[in-house]
């Protein structure tokens, strides 16, 4: 039986999969879907038993961006401001989660859908997927998507995509740095879960410390970034889990994993 919920949630072996479930609307980010994502991501953030999050989608598209029909039915500056603020909070929450988040991109990802891919820590896509920030074709510059896009691909490539509205294929998205890998559609879920399981097997403290440090240092000046990284690494070396694993490595004993 097909669920009418906009977001499906599956928790298995410490990996939570959040599946966008508006296939007839190309998984456009309606108010309801954004609210559901916020609720589930907040729950994930508070759950130390969850190691990795996968964001997937049902249907032919990954995400077509905002729900333009719903937006036109609620025409007004206040409504649009609240909508984009909610979406921005959701995107930032993905980065704030202690768990790595992987986008599993089965099809088209455009505008805020492309923003969602860029925001996730990692992304795999079917080799049939396409990516674009095409709002400019309608006279709407993809302002909020530009924030994530410009932080993941080179400046001139991001600006060209934003100014032309052109789509790129999955191979080009790998070249640009928007996604990590592209694979055959029939292999997408398996490859995504293999990566998720590999990350989930790593020591929990290192995953959590590592993601937080990665995003904190990337916006700092080089000396400040090294100072922060040095402090974090020194603390990391003092954790009992790390001490045991380093000793095991030196003594040629099996290193502890979460498998």
pLDDT in tens, the chain (259 residues): 467 899 999 999 999 999 999 999 999 999 999 999 999 999 999 999 999 999 999 999 999 999 999 989 999 999 999 999 999 999 999 999 999 999 999 999 999 999 999 999 999 999 999 999 999 999 999 999 999 999 999 999 999 999 999 999 999 999 999 999 999 999 999 999 999 999 999 988 899 999 999 999 998 999 999 999 999 999 998 888 888 888 888 888 887 776 5
Architecture label for domain 7-200: Alpha-Beta Complex (3.90)
Contact yes or no for 31/77 (Cβ under 8 A) = no
What is the CATH number that goes with domain 204-250? 1.10.12.10
> In the numeric block, which tokens belong to residue 225?
């970034």
Radius of gyration of the chain (CA): 19
Sign of the four-CA dihedral 80, 113, 34, 94: negative
7-200 and 204-250: same fold? no
Spell out the alpha helix ranges (H) of the chain: 31-45, 68-73, 77-96, 112-119, 143-150, 155-164, 170-176, 188-200, 204-217, 222-237, 240-250
What residue ranges do the domains of the chain occupy? 7-200, 204-250
Query: Is the pTM above the cut of 0.85?
Result: yes
């Amino acid at each position: 039986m097909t669920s009418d919920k906009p977001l499906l949630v599956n928790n298995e072996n410490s990996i939570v999969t959040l599946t966008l479930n508006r296939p007839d609307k190309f998984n456009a980010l309606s108010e309801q879907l954004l609210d559901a994502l916020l609720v589930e991501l907040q729950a994930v953030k508070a759950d130390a038993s969850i190691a990795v999050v996968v964001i997937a989608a049902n249907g032919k598209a990954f995400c077509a961006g905002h729900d333009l029909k719903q937006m036109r039915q609620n025409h007004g500056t206040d409504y649009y401001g609240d909508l984009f603020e909610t979406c921005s909070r959701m995107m930032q929450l993905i980065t704030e989660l202690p768990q790595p988040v992987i986008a599993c991109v089965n099809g088209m990802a455009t505008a805020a859908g492309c923003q969602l891919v860029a925001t996730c820590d990692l992304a795999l896509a079917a080799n049939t997927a396409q990516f674009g920030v095409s709002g400019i074709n309608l006279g709407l510059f993809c302002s909020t998507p530009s924030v994530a896009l410009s932080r993941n691909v080179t400046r001139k490539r991001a600006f060209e995509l934003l100014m032309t509205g052109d789509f790129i294929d999955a191979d080009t998205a790998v070249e640009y740095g928007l996604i990590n890998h592209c694979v055959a559609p029939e292999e997408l879920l398996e490859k995504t879960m293999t990566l998720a399981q590999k990350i989930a097997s790593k020591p929990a403290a290192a995953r959590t410390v590592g993601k937080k440090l990665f995003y904190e240092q990337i916006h700092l000046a080089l000396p400040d970034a090294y100072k922060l990284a040095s402090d974090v690494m020194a603390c990391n070396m003092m954790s009992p889990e790390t001490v045991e694993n380093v000793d095991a490595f030196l003594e040629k004993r099996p290193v502890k994993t979460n498998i």
